[in-house]
Amino acid sequence: MGLIQPFKPKLKKKDFLALKDFTTAEILDVLNLARELKKQGKAGQPLLKGKVLAMIFEKSSTRTRVSFEAGMIQLGGQAINLSTRDIQMGRGETVADTAKVLSSYVDGIMIRTYKQSVVEELAANSTVPVINGLTDDFHPCQVLADLLTILEVKGSFHGKKLTYIGDGNNMTHSLMMGAAKVGMNCTVVTPESYKPQERFFKAAQEEGKLTGSVIEWTSDPVKGVAGSDVIYTDVWASMGQEEEAEERIKAFADYQVNSDLEAHAKKDYTFMHCLPAHRGEEVTAEILDGPHSVVFHEAENRLHAQKALLTLLMGD
């Protein structure tokens, strides 16, 4: 395999905190490099040789932890896993002090936490790139993988309709903005009391005006799914909402992705889920494990999208 020679675009901002901060061109640069790195596989060149990524986990993870660590290893670097039980940030040291100390040891920081303000404070005080692995507001790394998957499966974003059905959570916020950035239409389907935050919805709509995409909301699952190219869902109770699980199951009872609902989508629609999934709740096993599902293809693409992001942020 030859070295990618040379991939010139560098992300203008040193941090990856939210999709809103990046231009369409920058997002497409990540996706294009991800496709190249995916072709090369494990035999690719050590583009991050000698680089170290610190990974802070206030929220536990499977896909985020393994994809970032494996990605760094495949790129010739290393990753250090840090839970808040392992570092002083979990014992009262300020986020700012943690950022300054880690910046002197490593070449990048990825954090998966609750408050977006923690990620922003970390970035403000760090001299190395900071990546948002997930917060209660956003899940931008997941959406990079989602966009890569849609591009591979559908061939383009133009004229495609993505329908997200379920809770108006961090996935919703990032999916709306991601769709708007690449010019894809996005319909959000939630109960009235579980709508995405209005400020994020309006921001995505404004971005959509620039790219020609329509970002809309409805409480009607059938109306929302009608004519969809992609149906996307997520768990009804996210991490930290376990006490609300029973209440949420009742609230979302009519929002399950099942054979009755999928009948209103295009015949060649694609089903996506960020995982982990609860079969029998937000989606039936028939759909999740069925012929339209690309959830494991999508999960694999976390690795490739993040390798591209790491290379563009941390590479020389």
Task: Confirm or deny that 112 is annotated as ligand binding.
Answer: yes
274 is catalytic: yes
- Binding residue per annotation — 205? no
199 as an active site residue: the answer is: no
User: Which member of 248, 273, 302, 304 is catalytic?
Assistant: 302
Could you tell me which of 234, 101, 213 has the C-alpha nearest to residue 171? 234
Of 29, 74, 107, 112, which one is the catalytic site residue? 112
Establish whether 234 is a catalytic residue.
yes
Query: Is residue 61 part of an annotated ligand binding site?
Result: yes
Residue type, 9: P
Do the annotations mark residue 279 as ligand-binding? no
Distance in angstroms (rounded) separating the CA atoms of residues 160 and 189: 17
**What is the spatial distance between Cα 191 and Cα 185, in angstroms, rounded to a whole number?**
20
On whether 140 is known to bind a ligand per the annotation, the reply is yes
Q: Which of 77, 110, 80, 117 is nearest to 95 (CA)?
A: 117
Q: Is 139 a catalytic residue?
A: yes
187 appears as a binding residue in the annotation: no
Rounded CA gap, 194 and 177, in Å? 18
219 annotated among ligand-binding-site residues: no
What is the spatial distance between Cα 254 and Cα 190, in angstroms, rounded to a whole number? Answer: 10
Q: Which listed residue (74, 139, 229, 248) is catalytic?
A: 139
Q: Which of these is catalytic: 142, 146, 273, 306?
A: 142
Q: Any known ligand binding at 63?
A: yes
Question: Annotated binding residue at 88?
Answer: yes
Residues ≥6 apart with Cβ < 8 Å to 31:
144, 147, 148, 151, 305, 308
Annotated active-site residue 35? The verdict is no
- Is residue 78 annotated as a catalytic residue, yes or no? no
> Which residues are known binding-site members?
61-64, 88, 112, 139-142, 170, 234, 238-239, 274-275, 302
Q: Which residues are catalytic?
A: 112, 139, 142, 234, 274, 302
Residues annotated within the binding site for L-ornithine are 170, 234, 238-239
Annotated binding-site members for carbamoyl phosphate: 61-64, 88, 112, 139-142, 274-275, 302
